[in-house]
């Protein structure tokens, strides 16, 4: 009997799983890939587009460079997953039936109920988002002067917020644009929950780049042109970018799967409360004991490899593998500079400079090479 396997999403988790499934599934299985975009975006490099839109061709990989000829690709938006009837409902096309489905839809921005924040802020969850930020800071700088520079506020000082602020600073310097950049974090330090050594290293780079850092004071409301804080004075802005958190996709809201914050609960083998539904990446909260797997590109890459194999094992009625996240370290860019921390097999805890910058580039290149070829990765190197 032919088994229908469907993968939802073309992010790190979805693209990685497709690559693995294509090597694992036998000829009696039909593989279908569904995504809103006809390309895979190297999302952890999307902040580069904020500075320079021309790099987008290097950080987007067309689906046809990843999907095998036997893999059916459908470009459409998933609106619901009916686990009772085993159907994926699409916005424009016909429903797609499945025997096994892998949910890898990624996440959407969380606004935590802060009044006005969704209405007045830009986000960075897609290529279009990065282009919109670029256009917004470019337009704001045209209307500004040296005496009255445009105010760019980035809310949320996690990885995405730090890298976005760094790219806005690079845009400012490259274009001599009259911009002032603010990075706002509700908690008491940037890159919250991480080692103080990397926090300080990132703070040093941001301050060197002229980014003003505001911590330990949450945003309570956003209005047109101004944000309000719990304690501090209001901060006026011309461009507001919000990178402060994630939640699951709306398409998962009505499904009967067990979930939290619209992210699907998954075991360490990626099975959900329905044994024919697997979930990975930001769409899932994957059991790893004391803490779930982090919603990072690194975790998604690792998970995709095992999830793809486990779906093949489920079809063949073989035992499923249990996945354990292996944190190989952190590398974050601030414009053209970078900081690396706790990198596996290296003798120093935190370092920057040329080694960190090139390690960051190599990580992205390695991912592109895994999906396509080292020749393509080499051509993209200068944009990473």
Return the pLDDT at 242.
Answer: 98
145 within a domain of the structure (yes/no): yes
- Find out whether 77 and 253 touch, Cβ atoms under 8 Å: no
Cα–Cα distance between 128 and 48 in angstroms, integer? 13
CATH number at 78 reads: 3.50.50.60
321 within a domain of the structure (yes/no): no
125 lies in the same domain as 234:
yes
pLDDT digit string, tens, across residues 18-44: 999 999 998 889 999 999 999 999 999
282 lies in the same domain as 345:
no
Domain that holds residue 372: 330-383
Q: How far apart are the first and last CA of the chain?
A: 45
203 lies in the same domain as 255:
no
Last residue of a domain, one of 210, 242, 274: 242
pLDDT band at 95 (very low <50, low <70, confident <90, very high): very high
pLDDT digit string, tens, across residues 318-360: 999 999 999 999 999 999 999 999 998 888 999 999 999 999 9
User: Which tokens go with 217?
Assistant: 């004071």
pLDDT digit string, tens, across residues 211-234: 999 999 999 999 999 999 999 999
What are all long-range contacts of 352-357, with beta carbons under 8 Å and residues at least 24 apart? 352/201, 352/205, 356/331, 357/333
146 within a domain of the structure (yes/no): yes
Domains: count for the chain: 3
In this prediction, residues 293-299 reach a mean pLDDT of 92
Q: What is the mean pLDDT of the chain?
A: 96
| DSSP notation for 307-319 | HHHHHHHHHTTPP
Last residue of a domain, one of 178, 211, 242: 242
323 within a domain of the structure (yes/no): no
pLDDT at 291 over 90: no
In this prediction, residues 171-187 reach a mean pLDDT of 98
Return the pLDDT at 28.
Answer: 87
102 within a domain of the structure (yes/no): yes
146 lies in the same domain as 237:
yes
pLDDT digit string, tens, across residues 262-287: 899 999 999 999 999 999 999 999 99
320 within a domain of the structure (yes/no): no
47 lies in the same domain as 29:
yes
39 within a domain of the structure (yes/no): yes
Return the pLDDT at 1.
Answer: 67
- What counts of helices (H) and strands (E) characterise the chain? 9, 25
322 within a domain of the structure (yes/no): no
161 lies in the same domain as 224:
yes
SS3 101: strand
């Amino acid at each position: 009997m032919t088994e229908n396997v469907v993968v939802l999403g073309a992010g790190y988790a979805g693209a990685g799983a497709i690559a693995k499934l294509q090597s694992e599934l036998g000829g009696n299985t039909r593989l279908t890939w569904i995504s809103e975009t006809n390309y895979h975006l190297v999302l952890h490099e999307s902040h580069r587009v904020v500075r320079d839109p021309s790099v987008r061709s290097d950080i987007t990989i067309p689906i046809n460079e990843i999907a095998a000829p036997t893999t059916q690709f459908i470009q459409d938006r998933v609106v619901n997953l009916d686990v009772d009837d085993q159907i994926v409902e699409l916005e424009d096309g016909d429903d797609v039936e499945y025997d096994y489905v892998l949910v890898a839809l990624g996440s959407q921005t969380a606004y935590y109920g802060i009044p006005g924040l969704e209405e007045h802020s830009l986000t960075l969850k897609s290529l279009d988002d990065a282009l919109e930020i670029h256009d917004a800071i470019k337009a704001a700088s045209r209307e500004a002067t040296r005496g009255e520079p445009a105010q760019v506020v980035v809310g949320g000082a996690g990885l995405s917020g730090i890298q976005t602020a760094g790219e806005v600073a690079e845009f400012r310097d490259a274009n001599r644009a009259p911009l002032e950049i603010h990075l706002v974090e509700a908690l008491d330090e940037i890159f919250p929950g991480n080692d103080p050594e990397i926090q300080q290293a990132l703070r040093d780079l941001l301050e060197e780049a002229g980014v003003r850092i505001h911590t330990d004071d949450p945003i309570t409301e956003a209005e047109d042109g101004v944000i309000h804080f719990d304690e501090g004075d209001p901060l006026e802005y011309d461009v507001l970018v919000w990178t402060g958190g994630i939640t699951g996709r709306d398409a998962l809201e009505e499904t009967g799967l067990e979930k939290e914050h619209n992210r699907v609960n998954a075991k360490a083998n990626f099975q959900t409360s329905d044994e024919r539904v697997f979930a990975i990446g930001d769409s899932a909260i994957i059991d790893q004991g004391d803490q779930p797997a982090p919603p990072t590109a690194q975790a998604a890459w690792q998970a995709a490899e095992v999830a793809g194999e486990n779906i093949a094992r489920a079809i063949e009625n073989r035992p499923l593998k249990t996945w354990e996240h292996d944190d190989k370290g952190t590398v974050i860019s601030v414009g053209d500079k970078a900081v690396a921390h706790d990198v596996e097999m290296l003798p120093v805890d935190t370092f920057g400079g040329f080694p960190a910058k090139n390690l960051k580039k190599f990580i992205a290149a390695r991912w592109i090479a895994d999906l396509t070829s080292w020749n393509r990765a080499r051509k993209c190197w200068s944009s990473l």
